Structures are given as C-alpha cells and as structure tokens.
Amino acid sequence: MTHARQQHTRHPVQVVAHRGASEEAPEHTLAAYKKAIEDGADALECDVRLTADGHLVCVHDRRVNRTSNGRGAVSALELSDLAGLDFGSWKTREAREAWHARDEEPDWEFRPEDREETSVLTLERLLELVADAGRRVELAVETKHPTRWAGQVEERLLLLLKRFGLDAPASAAESPVRIMSFSARSLHRVRAASPLLPTVYLMQFVSPRLRDGRLPAGVRIAGPSMRIVRNHPSYVERLKRAGHQVHVWTVNEPEDVALCVELGVDAIITNRPRAVLRQLGR
C-alpha cells in the first residue's frame, strides 16, 4: 500500500491552539489564549464575527447562547451588550463534570484572574496579546459564513490588520497571520485586497472537483477536517503533490496526532496544545 505516510520526510509540525487552549479554559476567551501561549503553542486560531456596531469579536456560534449566560445573535448585539455577558462560567462547570465522570483530578484548573479573562474578546485585544507575547506567535483567523454582514467582515478584518501592520507581508511565508474560511468567496475577497496574505480553504468534505488536490484560485493552504484525513489519507498526498500546505482540524486524540505526523501535515489545529506538544516531544 503506497500513500503519503510512506513518502514524506519528517518535518516540524506547527501546533495551533483551536479557540485557544479550549479544552482547559473557555473557548475564545483571553484566559484560553493566554494559556495557549503559556503552553507553547506556535499559533492561535480564532473565529470572528461582526457585531451590530461594527466590532470584530471572537465567537464561534452565530448566537451567544452556548458559550455565555446571554441570548441572541452576535450580529444583532452591540459590543456593550456582549461586554456584559459571562463567557466563562459554563466551561468551569463542564470541565469539573468531565473530570469527575472519569474519576480523575485535573492537573490544571481554570481559575480566571479577573473579569477580562472571561469577557467577550475582541480581535483587537487578541492582536494586542499576540504582539506582547515576547516570541513569534502566529494567528489563524477564520471568517464565519453565511452572515448578514457579507463582505464587511473581511473589510473590517483587513482594516484592523493594517492598524497592526499585518495586512501586507513581504511574502506569504513571512506573514504571522493567515485567513481561513469555508467560503471560497470570502478568501477571494481577502486575496483581492491583500494578495500576499496567506489563505486557508477549510473543508468538512472534499468536493468532487477538488479531489485531485486543487484548491480555489490563489489559495495555497488546505484545511481538511480530521475526519477527511482519517477516511482518505491519500488526499493529503494529492494536496502535497499540488504544492499545498495542509492544516488539519480539530486534532485532539493521540492516534490522530500520530497519523497527521505520519502523513506529513504542516499544522495540527487542536483544543489540547499542551498535550500535543508533549506528544511531539516539545
């Protein structure tokens, strides 16, 4: 049997903290990203949505119901509305229940130092955190679609990156920021405005027209799900032969980490950056 796992030489795999160190701290909170940086993650992943008053905030779901004590769609709420919500307590309860169900004691427990740790996180604040990290920490920003703010998300995102001097890297290889999306149209908007900013095409399944390893025009990084990689490991080889990098999400189990390394993927996106780094001998 011949496929990618037999043909690729080993190379360092980038470990990307999915929504921060989101197994241990509430996803998309300052606490989760601080923990990920402390744990040694090479990069941070975040989802961004636009509020009713034009702020980019790090929230995965269309509505805030799951990850806060509030209700409503992010796009219908203003930043001041979101700032009054608690985005952390649900995770504390969930984590304790999970540990107790396994009859184990946590070796690290989420304990917010102040309210900012679990308040809504703006992308601007996250960029400040990365800038002050004291080492190179890359950022993978996912634009969420569909949205009532079609096109405006990318426009606001690029304006914010410009404020931080991150919108026009000297080359794609040197950029500490990359933009990810399941929407080829979103990535096209980004590339039209900032051609050297790296873009990642995320996939839950492989479209028949892309099975040979092609990606949407101008995109050089594939973002297949772990399910795709498990079920179709040879797809990684096709992507590699086409000259693309491969960033896989969401990789949490040790056997999946091992498979990704064996297949020669370039980045592992995980809720467990500390555990993955340990498994990789880092």
List phi, psi (to 5°) of 245.
Answer: -80, 160
Q: Is 3 a catalytic residue?
A: no
What's the rounded Cα separation, in Å, for the pair 21 and 215?
Answer: 29
Catalytic, out of 28, 55, 60, 247: 60
Q: Is 244 a catalytic residue?
A: no
Catalytic, out of 18, 55, 244, 247: 18
> What region, left, alpha or beta, does residue 168 occupy, with left being phi > 0 and alpha being psi -120 to 50 degrees?
beta
For the residues of 80-126, what is the DSSP string, one character each? HHHHTS-SSHHHHHHHHHHHHHTT---SS----SSGGGGS--BHHHH
**Is 96:70 a contact under the CB 8 Å cutoff?**
no
- In degrees, to the nearest 5, what angle opens at C-alpha 100 toward C-alphas 94 and 101? 85
What's the rounded Cα separation, in Å, for the pair 13 and 9?
Answer: 12
What's the rounded Cα separation, in Å, for the pair 75 and 77?
Answer: 6
Return the active site residues.
18, 60
